[in-house]
Structure 1
Amino acid sequence: MKALLFKGKDQPLTVGDFKKPRPVKDQVLIRLYAAALNHRDLWVMQEQEQMFPDGVILGSDGCGVVEDVGEDADPFLVGMEVVINPSLEWGANPMVQGDKFRILGFPDNGTFAEYMVISKKYIFEKPEHLSNEECAAIPLSALTAYRALFSKARLRAKEKVLITGIGGGAALWLLQFAVAYQARVYVTSSSREKIEKAKTLGAAGGFVYTEADWAAQAQKETGGFDIIIDSAGGDQFNRFIELALPGGRIVNFGRTAGNITDVATRLLYWKQLSIHGTTMGTRDEFLSMLDFIESRKLKPVIDEVYPLAQAPEAFKRMEQGGQFGKIVLKIGS
């Protein structure tokens, strides 16, 4: 089968031949229709020091059809169109992942291939209202967004929400989820064009975070936020402490701007703020997320679709940071 192979840091991604896997025990064999890129794939490529001469298949997001099953999987699954939950071995505690937790796509072979095998417990029926490419754009980013907004921040209708770094997959799911839940949503970006695009999806306004006075503008326009969800960290995090309303909740799930360098401690306790870290989510949250998407007929924002053979170009687009929505690889049909 053809697969996108990662062989080590500073090594070019290559599309090559890889042995087609066979399902065993409770596994299913999935012929993949489409897969989607995540920043996690970039971090693995940039930070993994080990070399893999035979190649590892990255990719956490995927959609396809069950083509074969192992001996402990129901043969009636064959022919089912499915979306894959990449949150593997979460564990028994819904509050935090266990020691065996890992994310599909590294170290396990992932979705950037024509075929993959995975336990039957990680497949769910494809939402009927979505195309194959749209379905592939759901798993990692939508699950992360759902847990951040509902399980951690505990969004209530009519609350004011600030979402940082609009344009990425998780941020756009956050926007769509919050708007669908009747929140008043604002966004930040370094691009006014992205802010305007976010407004077409229901954002009430936005702020250019590269402008020195963006937080003052946000405070003047909104009066502060009940919920702030951030995927960057870095030295701007203290602005969120200032912008949070008393009793506010701040959730972080990323580090694209580096480590948090400062926190206004007095404001933190005097406002009685809550700061939550989060990553991925449980099986129950994945099911609830799918139900939320299906019941409201939500669709992901897709930036570009590339054939698998052009995956290196797709990654270049992600590295450049100009995308608005998910970057998807079309694999089969």
Structure 2
Amino acid sequence: MKNILLSLICILLFASCNNSVKNNDGKLNIVTTTTMITDLVKNIGKDSVRVQGLMGSGVDPHLYKASEGDVSKLTGADVVFYSGLHLEGKLVDVFEKMGRNTNTIALAEVLDKNTLIGSEYFASSYDPHIWFNIDYWRQITKYLTEELSKLDPENATFFKKNETAYLKKLDALEKEIKEAIKTLPKEKRILVTAHDAFNYFGKEYGFEVVGLQGLSTATEAGVQDVQKLAQLIIEKEVKAIFIETSVPRRTIEALQQAVKSEGFDVKIGGTLYSDALGSAGTDEGTYLGMFKYNVNTIVKALK
């Protein structure tokens, strides 16, 4: 892995000296990391940009490592958009090296860190799952639009028009999910998942959120963690717990068995999208569709 990383960095440093903004067809060549960012760039840039995402559906950004196949994408990029806050933990060294010579932009950097949730699990000291706060996503949408406009001034008006349309969709999304959550009694708003990806969601919409593995999927849940959480589920009579698409289901299944061994029945309420969107071409393959799907799944299972 070290040899691959060193080779990748060397190639990136060399290639960055030869990169020119925009291709022969006039389109910006953009590389993104997570599926959420890929979706956002496509909504703002549409057919005026070329977007290549490193991560696909179900891919865990906490554990993702740069492969040799990523080299051509990264070296050919006019700009690389990534989340930041050490979400892409295994790619940090690569991006730090690229940042000196290549246009790499960590979108979360636009956010006021005083408003973020602190976390001892990450080198950044902040919970990186910022996309579950829709207001943060609005800020990131505006920041992305500004950066695209700097890179491609000719399409600035086009980007701004798309930004305005997308912000309206985010407003509608927030209104819709708030209405759905209102139907769930406050005492039932306890969200138990594989890892703590939903703390921003919980803070915004009044859920107590408990993740078995902590904030990062790089950490492993121990027997004591499972037993402690099982007791909480029993005490608060939680009806359902949830699997995540980017985390192995065995941890939640082990938790379910631990609860059942104590004589209490808790069901698996469904699978939530946490660190990655759903499959391309589906509603869940978009940020808007993913958010609505998650909320509907949570509310239905906990009622």
TM-score norm. by structure 1 comes to 0.34
Q: Which has the higher helix share?
A: 2
